[in-house]
Protein backbone atom coordinates (compact mmCIF):
# COMPACT_ATOMS: atom_id res chain seq x y z
CA UNK A 1 0.00 0.00 0.00
CA UNK A 2 1.25 3.46 -0.86
CA UNK A 3 1.33 5.96 1.99
CA UNK A 4 1.25 9.47 0.54
CA UNK A 5 2.29 12.52 2.58
CA UNK A 6 1.62 16.18 1.84
CA UNK A 7 4.11 18.83 2.96
CA UNK A 8 2.71 22.36 3.21
CA UNK A 9 3.12 25.53 5.22
CA UNK A 10 2.75 29.23 5.46
CA UNK A 11 2.71 32.23 7.71
CA UNK A 12 0.64 31.96 10.87
CA UNK A 13 -1.37 34.75 12.51
CA UNK A 14 0.55 34.09 15.72
CA UNK A 15 3.19 31.46 16.52
CA UNK A 16 1.04 30.16 19.39
CA UNK A 17 -1.81 28.93 17.14
CA UNK A 18 -2.04 26.89 13.94
CA UNK A 19 -4.08 29.52 12.06
CA UNK A 20 -2.76 30.64 8.70
CA UNK A 21 -2.55 34.38 8.08
CA UNK A 22 -3.50 34.04 4.40
CA UNK A 23 -4.92 30.70 3.25
CA UNK A 24 -4.53 31.78 -0.40
CA UNK A 25 -0.77 31.88 0.10
CA UNK A 26 -0.24 28.45 1.65
CA UNK A 27 2.92 26.95 0.19
CA UNK A 28 2.34 23.44 -1.13
CA UNK A 29 5.80 21.89 -1.08
CA UNK A 30 4.68 18.58 -2.56
CA UNK A 31 3.25 15.11 -2.15
CA UNK A 32 5.71 12.35 -1.24
CA UNK A 33 5.49 8.55 -1.38
CA UNK A 34 6.73 7.93 2.16
CA UNK A 35 7.27 9.67 5.48
CA UNK A 36 11.07 9.81 5.24
CA UNK A 37 10.99 11.70 1.94
CA UNK A 38 8.26 14.01 3.25
CA UNK A 39 10.27 14.63 6.41
CA UNK A 40 13.32 15.63 4.36
CA UNK A 41 11.20 18.12 2.37
CA UNK A 42 9.60 19.45 5.56
CA UNK A 43 12.99 19.87 7.22
CA UNK A 44 14.41 21.76 4.23
CA UNK A 45 11.51 24.23 4.24
CA UNK A 46 11.56 24.61 8.02
CA UNK A 47 15.29 25.40 7.91
CA UNK A 48 14.84 27.79 4.97
CA UNK A 49 12.29 29.84 6.94
CA UNK A 50 13.83 29.50 10.41
CA UNK A 51 14.31 33.28 10.75
CA UNK A 52 10.56 33.92 10.53
CA UNK A 53 8.89 32.82 13.78
CA UNK A 54 5.46 32.97 12.11
CA UNK A 55 6.28 30.42 9.39
CA UNK A 56 5.30 26.80 9.96
CA UNK A 57 5.45 23.71 7.80
CA UNK A 58 3.49 20.52 8.36
CA UNK A 59 3.34 16.94 7.14
CA UNK A 60 -0.18 15.64 6.46
CA UNK A 61 -0.61 11.88 6.26
CA UNK A 62 -2.87 11.65 3.20
CA UNK A 63 -3.17 7.89 3.51
CA UNK A 64 -5.01 8.38 6.79
CA UNK A 65 -7.76 10.31 5.01
CA UNK A 66 -8.88 7.26 3.05
CA UNK A 67 -10.62 4.23 4.41
CA UNK A 68 -10.07 1.52 1.83
CA UNK A 69 -12.91 -0.54 3.34
CA UNK A 70 -15.50 2.24 2.87
CA UNK A 71 -17.61 2.44 -0.26
CA UNK A 72 -16.26 4.76 -2.96
CA UNK A 73 -17.80 8.20 -3.42
CA UNK A 74 -19.43 9.08 -6.73
CA UNK A 75 -16.36 11.09 -7.80
CA UNK A 76 -14.02 8.17 -7.12
CA UNK A 77 -16.18 5.95 -9.30
CA UNK A 78 -15.70 8.33 -12.26
CA UNK A 79 -11.98 7.54 -12.44
Strand partners, 69: none
Q: CA 42, 47, 52 angle in degrees (round to 5)?
A: 110
**DSSP 8-state class, residue 16:** T
| Helix or strand run (H / E) with residue 7 | strand 5-11
Which pLDDT does position 78 carry in this prediction? 46
Domain boundaries, the chain: 1-26
User: What's this model's pTM, rounded to 2 decimal places?
Assistant: 0.78
**41: Cβ–Cβ under 8 A, 6 or more apart, which residues?**
7, 29, 30, 32
* Interval 23-75: pLDDT, tens: 999 999 999 999 999 999 999 999 999 999 999 999 999 978 766 666 655 54
SS3 32: strand
**13: Cβ–Cβ under 8 A, 6 or more apart, which residues?**
19, 20, 21, 54
Which pLDDT does position 2 carry in this prediction? 80
Which pLDDT does position 38 carry in this prediction? 96
Which pLDDT does position 69 carry in this prediction? 65
Amino acid sequence: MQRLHLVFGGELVTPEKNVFKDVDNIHIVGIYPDYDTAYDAWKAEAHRTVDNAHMRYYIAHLHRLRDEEAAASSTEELG
